[in-house]
Structure 1
Amino acid sequence: MQGLGSGVIVSPDGYILTANHVVSGADEIMVGLGIELRKYKAKKVGTDPGTDVALLKIDEKNLPAITFADSDKARAGDIVLAIGNPFGLRQTVTMGIISAVGRGGIGIVDYENFIQTDAAINMGNSGGALVDTEGRLLGINTAIFSRTGGNQGIGFAIPASLARDVMQSLREKGRVVRGYIGASVQTLTPELADAMKFKGQPTGGLVGEVTPKSPSEKAGMKTGDVITAVNGKKISDARELRLMIGSMAPGTKVQIEVNREGQSKIVNVELAEMPAGEAEEGAETTPEENAQPEKATVFGGVAVADLTDDVRTALNLSKDIKGAVIAEIDADSPAGKAGLREGDVIQEVNKQPVRSAKDLVAISKKLKPNEKILIRVWSQGRSGFVALEPK
């Protein structure tokens, strides 16, 4: 089976940037250059699935290498050109503008900070160059949004600044080394901010869990903290935090500003190295039918039960995780609409710890009828917060 993509020569001695998904799983990689299509066998120097960047090397010298632009200065409305091999049509150039910068939350890769463009990008363009009007590299084309499989004017490119950082790490170490704080963080939504009784319109990353013995725990970070800035730079959401921390080297000392119970605090964290596989989501699991203990109903449509040994085994839960497991849930209930599902473990309600189903029932009876409910829940391998509307 053969695949086709594009690439960018980044050094005279044969280093080539492309998209990881173009070469992932390939047994052999061939590179064709020039109108006459001179063919070379390429070696895979390294790949980074987290950004969809791959670095190749061919045995050649005196190649024309591209110049990198400062992609951080790219702005919506700038004219750009997309270069590649769509459908095998070599050295195709299309023109458009930058539609947006800093695109994320798309679900393509772990570290998303895409340049969006309406320049025509089709199958075979992946890994090719997005350049400015001076021919300088602004990004590596990686994906499109399409209902037909063809260009519909929504394409995405990895910013050149991010691709260059990844390239340098792959070239020097053969892998990408990222900073790590050891905390599970989600975006603070308006609903969560309301449930946590924050004033104004706060933004940032909400800490759902602090990993034991991690840099965050050693620095004194706590569950429920909202990370608002790193080294004085404001954090709007969890994606920005992930990009910022991931771009720093292990051993870097950073000042993290957090909002804790309405008070601003500075936490000094020394970054560790991101463990292998840390960016992956936890596997989806559901409790076995024959492992269901006695149930109690809370929140108008959520049946919960104690975490027995059978349930822990079925859900692959460690002894450290305490709470009440959701055994059944009404999809039309507030909890169901908020994204809770069977197998999730409710750990806290309005910052009150839940040790058992009985605990949860007792806490739920004391809730005020017209206030949002803040729930901390273990789901898909990590802890996070969910805000429930009053039933």
Structure 2
Amino acid sequence: MKTKVAIIGAGPSGLLLGQLLHKYGIDNVILEARTPEYVLGRIRAGVLEQGMVDMLHEAGAAERMDREGHVHEGFTLSFNGREERIDLKELTGGKTVMVYGQTEVTRDLMDARKAAVAVTVYEAENVQLHDFYSDKPRVTFTKDGEECTLECDYIAGCDGFHGVSRKSAPADKIKCFERVYPFGWLGVLSRTRPVAPELIYANHERGFALCSMRNDHLSRYYVQCSLDDKVEDWSDERFWNELKARLPEHVAARLETGPSIEKSIAPLRSFVAEPMQFGRMFLVGDAAHIVPPTGAKGLNLAASDVHTLSTVLRKRYESGDENVLAQYSELALRRIWKAERFSWWMTSLLHKFGDDPFTQRIQLADLDYFTNSEAGRRTIAENYVGLPYEKVH
């Protein structure tokens, strides 16, 4: 098999990159270790920045999102008995976010790729990357017991934190930065009406809580929990009682409860790998960086990587100049570190870090300062809706 760009991973970043490259006339093949059903079974984030919304339009995969997604013009910070709404639209000159589940984004991109008759190989086993420091990279894999080789010009590693792409980078050429947080998020999905029309982020003495949603009849809620906790430790009743305890009384009073249809505990970490280019192999999304979910940056950061990589690849094939590719890592990392900072800050601001009263008072002072200052509110809003994409020269 031969192609111009071999894409490792059929999650949203790999599918979005593949669809954009297809639109630009750049042939690509996606290799995915799992089945389509497994990929669609991942319950993940659902707050999309304007930049990602625009790219889904460009990729021809936005029709259902436009119909079923929910535009949010703000969100609420709850702390110390107060509720402060951050008006995203007013503070950013009209920018908003779209609430639309990652599973639905993935499904729409799968449908768009199928309609484009572009090649995706699912259940590709033992994927290995070769010769990406030469001008003839290749990827080997096993499909239905048969050994296969995919020859290509470039490799895009979109296969997540545990994928083969980052592991293939020479150990002496990559540097990793990491912060692991001493708690997790217990998340519950329920067929209940959302408690509020916009997201609520709560700082509480019992720990952090988040009220989110997928649509008008499907809610997603989270509470901070111990890393030692197990899902089976948390009955539905215990979860709802704990969530209510961390919300303002009038919000808790209108909370609609019901059986959970999905329940999981996710650890929190900040992680960045540098650089993101190794010869003709590029890291994209979770393969290169992880952010805590506070601030909704994970999927959106992957999208900004896709924007930068698809742009430099398009310029390379249009101009024939390979030097344009050298911009990728620097431009991507510039935006990544700013998003890492915001996610770390939001996490530090809203979660309980032990019982230190000094830390708790600093958090409340920080929240009070930022929400009582127009400049502070604007800073939060600008970061939440997404900083501008870096320009490719």
Higher strand residue share: 1
Higher helix residue share: 2
Q: Give the structure-1-normalised TM-score.
A: 0.22
- Larger radius of gyration between Structure 1 and Structure 2: 1
Q: Give the structure-2-normalised TM-score.
A: 0.22
User: Greater relative contact order (Cα 8 A, min sep 6): structure 1 or 2?
Assistant: 2
